[in-house]
């Protein structure tokens, strides 16, 4: 990491007193004296000037001439590559909205400070902070073309990774979610957000899902035969539900491989609105009749919503990670989390919390009454071969009183 003293910091706040206070706190933390502006326009002009971009900006939200929100938009348009801290006396929900906006502009947000900013709060944000190396996520986000993807599917370049789902009450490993990756011969491991959309747009999602599902079923059979009783979840795109024979395909494959439908979870996300619900409704209802488990994925975002709960026979609800991570410290998130959890329980569904990233998230879930948990705190998605050893070490963590997991 670079020396703090060589990092350039910009302060933008209409109150000169705040500039002085923050400036002094930064110097005490080892930063060289920041560039300070009481006016957003001048700060923006400076950004385009010979001094270049700072590594870090501390930005006040409430300013008379150009407010913090507009400032953030202009930073986004200029493709600002440094990091940002929001400073404000506004309430938590407004700060949440502003934070979401900053991230939507692709700007690295370190966090926010409540006025009057304390030295301890600033130190807590900046101590773990590392200035980003100049790689913006969207530049890395290549989309592949349909022919390349078709060849990859045909050549068996897609591989399944599996992420554990554990019971919150006792930590027991209940199942795994299948997450597809592409072992690209040149580009390395490619993540699904770079090719699922391509497959959906080019009529390849059925072919892709068939490959993923067959591999997942075969793997589940291997685990079950080795006395590892696991449920296996597979993600279905709404586009998989447009033709009725897809239900037969799933049922036939499970029967051929010898995996009972009751251990197969089909996770459905509705990323865009379906005009005609009749086919998906028929297909999912038939799968449910055959005792497959149906899960509503990313609940609370996009179109994964109440009307789907009303219309479709789901037995599992996955609360989207944006309502889980940090819900312990955010009243809005925990209110949405609790409401979703209780609603699902009232209609007899099992609830999975996604995005359990750290100890605080886990402790929050333990208090919440949620059924299952999934996330980096427990395990990242991994190749099938790594799962038995991971289960072993997880069980050790569970038995260790010092770990205090359960």
Decide whether 53 or 354 has the Cβ nearer to ligand G: 354
Asked if 235 interacts with ligand G (CB under 6 A), we say yes
Residues 78-137 that bind ligand G (CB under 6 A): none
CB of 268 to Mn ion, least distance (A): 9
Residues 314-353 that bind ligand G (CB under 6 A): 321
Asked if residues 122 and 90 have their Cβ atoms less than 8 Å apart, the reply is no
Answer for which of 108, 192, 197, 302 binds ligand G (CB under 6 A) is 192
**Cα gap 317→3, rounded to integer Å:** 47
CB of 266 to ligand G, least distance (A): 11
Our CA dihedral for 125, 76, 375, 398, rounded to 10 degrees, sits at: -10
Decide whether 60 or 361 has the Cβ nearer to Mn ion: 361
Options 1-9, 149-157, 262-270, 277-285: segment touching Mn ion (CB under 5 A): 262-270
Decide whether 27 or 357 has the Cβ nearer to ligand G: 357
Decide whether 31 or 362 has the Cβ nearer to ligand G: 362
Decide whether 231 or 321 has the Cβ nearer to ligand G: 321
Answer for which of 90, 357, 360, 386 binds ligand G (CB under 6 A) is 357
Asked if 270 interacts with ligand G (CB under 6 A), we say no
Options 19-27, 45-53, 249-257, 373-381: segment touching ligand G (CB under 6 A): 373-381
Answer for which of 13, 60, 215, 267 binds Mn ion (CB under 5 A) is 267
**Cα gap 72→338, rounded to integer Å:** 32
**Cα gap 241→280, rounded to integer Å:** 5
Burial classification of residue 315, based on how many CB atoms lie within 10 Å of its CB (0-12 exposed, 13-18 middle, 19 or more buried):
middle
The site for ligand G (CB under 6 A) is made up of 163, 179-180, 191-193, 196, 209, 212, 235, 237, 297-298, 321, 354-357, 375-376, 381
């Amino acid at each position: 990491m670079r020396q703090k003293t060589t990092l350039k910091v910009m302060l933008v706040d209409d109150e000169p007193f705040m500039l002085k206070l923050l400036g002094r706190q930064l110097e005490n933390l080892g930063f060289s004296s920041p560039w300070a502006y009481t006016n957003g326009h001048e700060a923006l002009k400076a950004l385009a000037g010979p001094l270049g971009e700072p590594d870090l900006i501390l930005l006040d939200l409430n300013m008379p001439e150009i407010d913090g929100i507009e400032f953030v938009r202009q930073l986004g348009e200029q493709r600002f590559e440094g990091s940002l801290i929001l400073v404000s006396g506004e309430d938590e929900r407004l700060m949440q909205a502003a934070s979401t906006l900053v991230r939507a502009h692709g700007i690295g947000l370190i966090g926010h400070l409540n006025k009057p900013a304390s030295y301890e709060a600033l130190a807590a944000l900046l101590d773990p902070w590392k200035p980003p190396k100049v790689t913006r996520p969207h530049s890395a986000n290549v989309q592949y073309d349909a022919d390349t993807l078709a060849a990859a599917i045909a050549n068996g370049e897609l591989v399944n990774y599996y992420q554990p789902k554990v019971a919150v009450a006792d930590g027991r490993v209940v199942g795994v979610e299948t997450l597809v990756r592409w072992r690209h011969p040149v580009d390395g491991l490619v993540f699904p957000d770079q090719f699922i959309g391509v497959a959906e747009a080019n009529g390849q999602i059925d072919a892709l899902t068939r490959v993923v599902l067959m591999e997942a079923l075969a793997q589940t059979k291997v685990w079950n035969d080795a006395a590892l009783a696991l449920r296996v979840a597979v993600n279905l795109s709404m586009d998989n539900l447009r033709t009725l024979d897809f239900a037969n395909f799933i049922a036939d494959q499970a029967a051929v491989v010898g995996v009972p439908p009751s251990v197969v979870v089909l996770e459905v996300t509705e990323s865009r609105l379906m005009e005609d619900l009749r086919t998906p409704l028929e297909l999912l209802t038939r799968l449910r009749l055959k005792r497959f488990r149906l899960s509503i994925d990313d609940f609370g975002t996009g179109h994964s919503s109440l009307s789907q709960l009303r219309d479709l026979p789901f037995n599992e609800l996955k609360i989207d990670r944006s309502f889980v991570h940090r819900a312990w410290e955010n009243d809005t998130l925990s209110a949405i989390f609790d409401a979703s959890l209780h609603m699902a329980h009232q209609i007899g569904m099992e609830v999975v919390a996604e995005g359990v990233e750290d100890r605080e998230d886990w402790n929050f879930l333990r208090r919440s009454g949620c059924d299952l948990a999934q996330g980096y705190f427990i395990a990242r998605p991994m190749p099938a071969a790594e799962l038995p050893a991971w289960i072993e070490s997880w069980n050790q963590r569970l038995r260790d009183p010092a770990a205090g997991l359960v």
